[in-house]
Structure 1
Amino acid sequence: MLRFLTRRSLGAAFILLIVAAVTFFLFFAVPGDPARLACGKVCPPETLAQARHNLGLDQPIFVQFVEWFFGIFAGREYEGLGHCPAPCLGYSFVNREPVFSTIVDRLPVTISLTIGSAIIFLIFGVGTGIIAALKQGKPLDKIASISSLIGASVQIYFIGTLAMYFLVFQWQVIERPRYVPITEDPIGWAYGLMLPWVVLAIIFTANYTRMTRSTMVEQLGEDYVRTARAKGMSARTVVLRFALRGTLTPIATIFGIDLAGLIGGAIITETTFSLQGIGRLSIQSVNNSDLPMLMATVLLAAAAIVVLNVIVDALYAVIDPRVRLS
């Protein structure tokens, strides 16, 4: 296991290096002038030259990348802005604040939104899929299949807007979604994010129900499951000890991808419910042409995908005894 994790970690680091290089060259090597974006609309020539020097645009492109990359870990000096401490992702073109501090401020909102919704859709999705597989062909299975098809067909911006209109403004059964730090008020934290959690869970639960049901039906027909039944094991033992463990392998795969996507920024959800998370920050960065902030959100999303894929690969051996890491 240690050898596997070491090898996968080195591979993940190499992938992140490639992603960082591609991201940098896309934003700084394409036609355009990042210095003018950083300087603003009214920018005298001497100020533009200073901005170009601060960004290192007066150096070869490879030197720019090396200084930017190592500045992430060692910090970097910006004339007129001072020292950017590590991890340094540069300064925002909009508010001249360190990009990393803005990411840290926004990340708890996205993490809270991700964790709460993931718990809900994982429990209900997997649970409903298991029940539907065990009741295959019966009314409960048909209801679960139809419900999951409807849930997978609707979009977050549609159901989120309807939920806001009726539940918040018309019927006033719940307050407008807001973020309260869990360290200050755990109950207020959960209550303020309950509506976004439920809306996200409706979408994702449908996918997990369909995936779990199809995989569970397949696992129940495997030879080792029939052997367990032939040995006289209880139905509960057969389902939980054998069939479920084989079912969880593909579930873990899509869960890692979905979790990474949510951590990288639930853009539509955060915009619909006016939550100031990473997703909303990325949209604002695009609208404001804030290249350093946009690069940081891209790197965060890439890092979440790579790291969670390593974790999921390691979990395969724990979930399914047939999987061996070598």
Structure 2
Amino acid sequence: GGLVAAPPRLHQDTEPMLNYIIRRLLWAVVLFIGVTLITYVLFFLLPADPARLAAGKSATAEDVARVSHQLGLDRPVHEQYVLFLKRLVVDHSLGRSYANRRSVNEMVGEAIPVTAALVVGGAILWMLIALPIGILSALKPRSLIDRGAMIFILIGISAPVVWIGLLLQYFVGFRWGLTPNAGYCDVIDPPVGASCGGPADWAYHMILPWLTFAILFAASYARMIRANVMDTLGEDYVRTARAKGAPENVVIRRHVLRNALLPVVTMLGLDIGVALGGAIFTEAIFNLPGLGRLALNSVLNLDLPTMQGVIVFATLTIILLNLVVDLIYAWIDPRIRLA
């Protein structure tokens, strides 16, 4: 008849979460190996010979064979891939470029700040564009604002990023002369003899790339925000708040926007990783020395180490962002841990 102490809930609560984290980490490892392995296989299916490209146009067959041996290209594909993983995990090295023999770690490290500035600045700008458009069009359906927003969404979703960038480059940069057409300025430590540098020049040269990047995503986010706000306006708790006499601005701010924008924040974390792919075209248009241009040059030069370096960084970034979003979801909704 004595009281029996209840078992501690800490173990019961943390065990499903730990199991969920372990599953997600294992899946991240499998995904990383799959992406890098597919890159290796596709690289060696190409008809061109990277050793001949690295040796030069005037190289003899002996020169090509020597370069192939130096680069390890005469080994079987599986051996090269195992060496790549060993070098990455043990030495934390991505190897050296086939094209210029520079450290890939250094090349990727120099390009990351440019791409990060483009993606983060573009994300901030696309949210500043999408939020007012999506919210106002939802609050005033079938109005002139809503119809204008629908036209913007249709154009933004349908138009290729290259077309958007070239239009902005022609009108804003060339015809009106409001911004530079292309180029990049270092924000902190410009090289000696550089024509520009510092925060002001850096931001001035990034306006068009940010705007191009923002339009690419702002349209889809405006559509999502509009749909979420309109769905939330029909919820029972919104009608209840209005029935109790709460002011409309309080209802919109506390009840509608707070709930409607939660999925948007989650999607933002995922899309920042996806946006790395869109950076390739934007950087090519505006001649930005970021990961996109580095990846494009590595493909043109059949430079596998550099190509893998960009893919490793992009894959790890996307995996990390997905993992963070998954963990946030699991913390908010414990049912996900048991799925």
| Interval of TM-score (by shorter of Structure 1 and Structure 2) | 0.7 to 0.9
TM-score, normalised to structure 1, is: 0.83
Alignment partner for residue 168 of structure 2, among 163, 170, 185? 163
TM-superposed deviation, 1:231: 4.4
More displaced, 267-276 or 221-230?
Answer: 221-230
Matched residue, 1:305? 318
Matched, 1:136 2:136: no
> Within 2, Cα distance between the matches of 1:272 and 1:304?
24
Contact 1:157 1:272 in 2 (8 A): yes
TM-superposed deviation, 1:302: 2.2
Matched, 1:65 2:81: yes
> Within 2, Cα distance between the matches of 1:105 and 1:155?
28
> Within 1, Cα distance between the matches of 2:308 and 2:336?
34
Contact 1:264 1:302 in 2 (8 A): no
- C-alpha change, 1:63 and 1:114, in structure 2 (3 Å) is same
Partner of 1:279: helix, strand, or coil? helix
TM-superposed deviation, 1:14: 2.8
In the TM superposition, 1:278-317 aligns within 5 A as 278-316=291-329
Kindly report the root-mean-square deviation, in angstroms, between the aligned alpha carbons of the 2 structures: 2.8
Contact 2:50 2:303 in 1 (8 A): no
Partner of 1:173: helix, strand, or coil? coil
In the TM superposition, 1:230-241 aligns within 5 A as 230-241=243-254
> Within 1, Cα distance between the matches of 2:330 and 2:200?
37
TM-superposed deviation, 1:38: 3.7
Matched, 1:25 2:41: yes
Contact 1:180 1:188 in 2 (8 A): yes
- C-alpha change, 1:68 and 1:239, in structure 2 (3 Å) is same
TM-superposed deviation, 1:13: 2.6
> Within 2, Cα distance between the matches of 1:186 and 1:293?
29
Aligned residue pairs, count: 313
- C-alpha change, 1:252 and 1:323, in structure 2 (3 Å) is farther
> Within 1, Cα distance between the matches of 2:326 and 2:234?
25
Matched, 1:54 2:59: no
- C-alpha change, 1:60 and 1:123, in structure 2 (3 Å) is same
Once the two structures are aligned, what percentage of the paired residues are identical?
40
> Within 2, Cα distance between the matches of 1:21 and 1:239?
49
- C-alpha change, 1:31 and 1:169, in structure 2 (3 Å) is closer
TM-score, normalised to structure 2, is: 0.80
- C-alpha change, 1:211 and 1:288, in structure 2 (3 Å) is same
In the TM superposition, 1:142-161 aligns within 5 A as 142-161=147-166
More displaced, 307-316 or 231-240?
Answer: 231-240
